[in-house]
Amino acid sequence: DFLRSEGYDLWLGSHFFTQIDANASLPTFSLDHTQESPFPVAIVSKKEAADAPGSACCSPMRENNVQWLRLVDDNDMSVGNIDTVYRVETAGGSRPATCKGQEKTFEVPYTAQYWMYSNKA
């Protein structure tokens, strides 16, 4: 209830990967649940990565945390003024050391905050 009272129950959009050629895809953030028209779409690539700090939250399953990232649109592919995305406050999400004992397909859950910015005037 606390998070909901602070406005953290809003679903702003989706995160997925856009295939740009046979061998590459780019992280994409489509904020299609906002009031903006056209809605913002950030198509970005990784510029920097850092291990999550030791003081970061742990996931309930005690997995290692995925890296914190700085993602930037340097191909001018985004729409709606978002050109920089940060993934921070990660908990969980690191792939297992081995797939032994796993199902043919499986998911590795994680939680993160995504902060979005514009450098455009």
- The tally of CA atoms less than 13 A away on the side-chain side of residue 81 is 8
The tens place of each residue's pLDDT in the chain, 121 residues long, gives 666 776 667 788 999 999 999 999 999 999 998 888 889 999 999 999 999 887 777 766 556 889 999 999 988 999 988 999 999 999 888 888 888 999 999 888 888 999 999 876 5
| β partners of residue 117 | 84
Q: Assign residue 3 a region: left if phi > 0, alpha if psi is -120 to 50, beta otherwise?
A: alpha
Domain carrying residue 44: 2-117
| Number of folded domains that form the chain | 1
